[in-house]
């Protein structure tokens, strides 16, 4: 079965929702796991890591 123009338009209409849900899921994952590699670069949120000793 070949995908046509109509199926491409339908798939494109879901793109903003998919991006929104994906970004929300990624932000939730960062919040619940405290992934320090990424979270230390977020302003105001990285303050909770200032007291911890630096790892090398």
Spell out the residues 6+ positions from residue 35 whose beta carbon is closer than 8 angstroms to its own.
29
Q: What is the pLDDT of residues 21-51, one digit of tens each?
A: 999 999 888 888 877 777 777 787 777 777 7
- Are 45 and 39 a contacting pair, CB within 8 Å? yes
pLDDT of 5 above 80: yes
Q: Using CA of residue 36, residue 32, residue 21, residue 24, what is the dihedral sign?
A: negative
Residue with tokens 């494109």: 12
Domain coordinates in residue numbering, the chain: 5-49
Structure pTM?
0.59
Average pLDDT over residues 5-30: 92
What is the distance in angstroms between the CA of the first residue and the CA of the last residue of the chain? 54
């Amino acid at each position: 079965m070949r995908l046509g123009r109509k199926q491409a338009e339908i798939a494109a209409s879901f793109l903003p929702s998919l991006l929104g849900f994906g970004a929300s899921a990624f932000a939730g994952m960062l919040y619940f796991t405290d992934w320090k590699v990424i979270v230390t670069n977020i302003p105001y949120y990285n303050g909770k890591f200032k007291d911890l000793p630096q790892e090398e």
